[in-house]
Amino acid sequence: METSNLLFEKLLGAAPYKQEEVASEGVRTSFFKNGPNKIELLEALDNNSPIAKFLEKKGEGIHHVAFEVDDIVAEISRLKDEGFTVLNETPKRGADNKWVAFVHPKTANGVLVELCQEIK
């Protein structure tokens, strides 16, 4: 993670504003801000985590795209009604104080999509 953090610090001209571990997902995260957008770097904490398996199979690069939503439960329902396969029937706690749910890449042109809602 240190190498990637340094790379993005140079690219964006700022250090990560936050780092945290998400034990349930087996990852360590670093968050960078660029205007209204955020970039989240992920590092696997163990070799059996989904991120470790992704990196082993595909190497470093973009893992997923995340979208902020106002009502994650309604969005999950709407996307299921639209024919998307949602990997989480109910939102789960993710990094950066967010509820998260994922849309399977097979139903989103090969892109893993994350829905995020601020936990209040």
The arrangement of strands across the sheet holding 98-103 comes to 65-68, 113-118, 98-103, 92-93
Q: Give residue-wise pLDDT tens across range 34-73.
A: 888 899 999 999 999 989 998 899 888 889 999 999 999 9
Q: Give residue-wise pLDDT tens across range 86-97.
A: 999 999 999 999
The predicted model scores a pTM of 0.79
Q: Which residue type, as a one-letter code, is found at position 35?
A: G
- Helix and strand numbers (H, E) in the chain are 3, 7
Average pLDDT estimate for 63-85: 96
What's the pLDDT at 64?
Answer: 93
Average pLDDT estimate for 8-36: 92
